[in-house]
Structure 1
Amino acid sequence: MLYIMILLIILLMLLLIRSLMVKRELKSMTKQLMTYNNRDTGKKLDVALFDIHIEGLAAQINRQSDLLLAAKAEQLRTEKELKQMVANISHDIRTPLTSIFGYIQLLEADDLTAEEKQEYVAIIKNRTKRLQALLNDFFELSVIESIDYALQLGHLKMNNLLPEIILGLYDQFNERLLVPDIHIPQDEIIVIADESAVRRVIENLLLNTIKHATGKVSITFLKQQSTAVLMITNKANPLPDNDPSVLFNRFFTVDQTRSGTGAGAGTGLGLSIAKGLMGKMEGKLTAEMTGDHLTMRCEWMLSPRKS
């Protein structure tokens, strides 16, 4: 009986010591966390006591700290992009508005000839159309990015649609003295997509190419194992940090995307819209840089329906 009592006393002392050690460790963790929260240090929690539960708690607290830091960094990045977007929108809207207002003032002059009035009216119409297109793009991008925006996916025959879209832009290619090298297989290729969205995506990519490209433009459509791929390639200027993904950033304004252009004031919304639409169709739109050539690559899932 005496041995049992001694054993119980020893166990109680061990439990008391253990409890005191855990209490001291928790106080230490609290102090460390307070110092971290006060931004006095960026050091994470250290655990001196070997205890699986306390170590697990410390690990989760450290993980939460990492998540908060990542969220803070994302917030700062978003705020920076938002400020840049506001600046870009202000510039892109103010420029045609200033021009329109200026020509309206010129129209108020009494000594204008009929030809001058006609010229000024034509310029005002052109600037107004540009402003309208810009506002439509901003609206469309905001709609596409909303959760409720859905497309009607179906079985789409790309062999018929793709040549039709390219032919519809023939005049624009011709005006820029561009003769695209087109490769479209004769075998029927059916993808899962929304027709109006596909038209918008391809038109945006081709119009972007027409606007900036010089030299050879290659348009290739091919069938892979489970996907169909459209590739548009032409010579390009170097990109910031050699990162082609910046082309789809709606805040990217420095026009370094294609050769022979230099700086520009475009917002890049056409590519952002195309990227958003491809995502809604569960497809992919990427940009790849190989040497001094840029390739826009669209990828759709093939339809299981047999031709």
Structure 2
Amino acid sequence: MHLAIAILLALAAVSLLIAYLLQRHSIIQVRRQLADADASSVQHLHLKLPLPGCEMERLVVAVNGQLEQRRKEQILHRSRERAVKEEIANLSHDLRTPLTSMQGYAHLLNDPAAPAAERQEYLEIILLKLAVMNNIVESFYELSSMDSGDYPLDRRPLYLYSLLTEVILAFHTDLIRKNIEVQLNLEESVRMIPLDEKAMIRIFSNVLQNVLRYGKSRLAISLFTEADKVKIVFANDTDHIRREDLPRLFERTYTSDPSRSSGQLGLGLAIVKQLVEKQGGGIGTALDGGEFQLVLTFGEY
């Protein structure tokens, strides 16, 4: 009897020892896999459990979740890093272009033999280039303020018909000078909705500046209600925007002008998108038969 008990106890001890050794082996294997994850750039590494065990399985699942989260953060970080590098390169290019031009005209302006009329022309060109540089810097500052959340909005019931009409009127002379024919389809009965007036003026102004930059000969602006949504559609013909440009039009520093000869960054529509979305609206684009459409949508609040 005592011998049987001793044998059972010995077998139990051996079983516990084997279980301990197996668990220890699993832990060692998992630890090695973690070390490999830290030492390598493997993006899809998941830990594998050599031997089953309830608690160990839970631990491995939790660690795999952390590894997956780290992988996603690394991808996002690299994507942002590439975007920042591209922004810096584009910003440097677009600041350097007018700056180089200004330096050249400044040397010509400094020539005492230059006629007064030419000196005045050089000065006007320098002032124009300064305005371009100032617009770039201000736009970047505005986007930076939006990213940091330091861009408060004062949303109050706004009658879009009146505001849109006023902004269009302010651009009337520029549109005539560019020989762009304007057609207005604005419904006066569109209800008032809570929006920030200054933000909406900025949105409309940026869109019209984009039309002046890339438009060709006509512009149609519509304001109406559809499915209980307030919609504003800007449609203009253009030779500068291609179908492949559409997915990137709202990216910072993107411009559909490959030569960037206009000296302008693609910041205008990036600002429009952020301001629309900050007010709960939506924005979309389309290109059909050489006509570019920008659609702003605001719903119920």
TM-score range, shorter chain: 0.7 to 0.9
1:208-239 superposed Cα distances (whole Å, 9 cap, x missing partner): 12210225433222223453121223345434
Inter-partner Cα distance in structure 2 for 1:291 and 1:54: 62
Q: Is the 8 A contact 1:81 1:251 kept in 2?
A: no
Question: Relative to structure 1, is the Cα distance of residues 266 and 120 closer, same or farther in structure 2, using a 3 angstrom cutoff?
Answer: closer
Counterparts of 1:33-72 in structure 2 under 5 Å?
33-39=34-40, 43-72=45-74
Inter-partner Cα distance in structure 2 for 1:104 and 1:82: 32
Name the residue aligned to 2:293: 295
Normalised to the residue count of structure 1, the TM-score between the two structures is: 0.84
Name the residue aligned to 1:280: 278
Question: Are 2:22 and 1:21 aligned?
Answer: yes
Q: What is the aligned length?
A: 297
Name the aligned partner's letter for residue 283 of structure 2: L
Question: Relative to structure 1, is the Cα distance of residues 148 and 109 closer, same or farther in structure 2, using a 3 angstrom cutoff?
Answer: closer
Counterparts of 1:50-199 in structure 2 under 5 Å?
50-199=52-201
Name the aligned partner's letter for residue 88 of structure 2: V
* Structure 1 residue runs without a partner (length 5+): none
Inter-partner Cα distance in structure 1 for 2:86 and 2:23: 51
State the 1:180 CA deviation.
3.0
State the 1:13 CA deviation.
5.5
Inter-partner Cα distance in structure 2 for 1:216 and 1:93: 31
Inter-partner Cα distance in structure 1 for 2:32 and 2:289: 54
1:250-306 superposed Cα distances (whole Å, 9 cap, x missing partner): 1324427xxxx9975531111111122223222223334456543222222335xxx
Inter-partner Cα distance in structure 2 for 1:229 and 1:295: 12
Inter-partner Cα distance in structure 2 for 1:245 and 1:148: 27
**For structure 1, which segment, 105-114 or 226-235, has the greater mean C-alpha deviation from structure 2 after superposition?**
226-235
From 238, 249, 273, the equivalent of 2:242 is: 238
SS in 2 for 1:208: helix
State the 1:176 CA deviation.
2.2
Inter-partner Cα distance in structure 1 for 2:199 and 2:158: 11
Question: Relative to structure 1, is the Cα distance of residues 53 and 173 closer, same or farther in structure 2, using a 3 angstrom cutoff?
Answer: farther
* Structure 2 residue runs without a partner (length 5+): none
Q: What RMSD, in angstroms, separates the aligned Cα atoms of the two structures? A: 2.9
Question: Relative to structure 1, is the Cα distance of residues 13 and 234 closer, same or farther in structure 2, using a 3 angstrom cutoff?
Answer: farther
Inter-partner Cα distance in structure 2 for 1:163 and 1:4: 98
Q: Is the 8 A contact 2:253 2:266 kept in 1?
A: yes
Inter-partner Cα distance in structure 2 for 1:295 and 1:8: 83
Question: Relative to structure 1, is the Cα distance of residues 83 and 21 closer, same or farther in structure 2, using a 3 angstrom cutoff?
Answer: same
SS in 2 for 1:112: coil
Q: Is the 8 A contact 1:145 1:276 kept in 2?
A: no
1:70-103 superposed Cα distances (whole Å, 9 cap, x missing partner): 2222222222222222222222222222222221
Question: Are 2:252 and 1:250 aligned?
Answer: yes
From 258, 263, 266, the equivalent of 2:264 is: 266
State the 1:40 CA deviation.
7.5
Inter-partner Cα distance in structure 2 for 1:35 and 1:203: 55
**For structure 1, which segment, 261-270 or 273-282, has the greater mean C-alpha deviation from structure 2 after superposition?**
261-270
Q: Is the 8 A contact 1:254 1:263 kept in 2?
A: no
Name the residue aligned to 2:31: 30
1:188-209 superposed Cα distances (whole Å, 9 cap, x missing partner): 3212210010010111112112
Q: Is the 8 A contact 1:231 1:298 kept in 2?
A: yes
Question: Relative to structure 1, is the Cα distance of residues 38 and 190 closer, same or farther in structure 2, using a 3 angstrom cutoff?
Answer: same
Normalised to the residue count of structure 2, the TM-score between the two structures is: 0.85
Give the share of equivalent positions with the same residue, in percent.
27
Inter-partner Cα distance in structure 1 for 2:260 and 2:104: 27
Q: Is the 8 A contact 1:253 1:265 kept in 2?
A: no
Q: Is the 8 A contact 1:204 1:271 kept in 2?
A: yes
Question: Relative to structure 1, is the Cα distance of residues 210 and 39 closer, same or farther in structure 2, using a 3 angstrom cutoff?
Answer: same
SS in 1 for 2:48: coil
Q: Is the 8 A contact 1:255 1:265 kept in 2?
A: no
State the 1:30 CA deviation.
1.2
Name the residue aligned to 1:205: 207
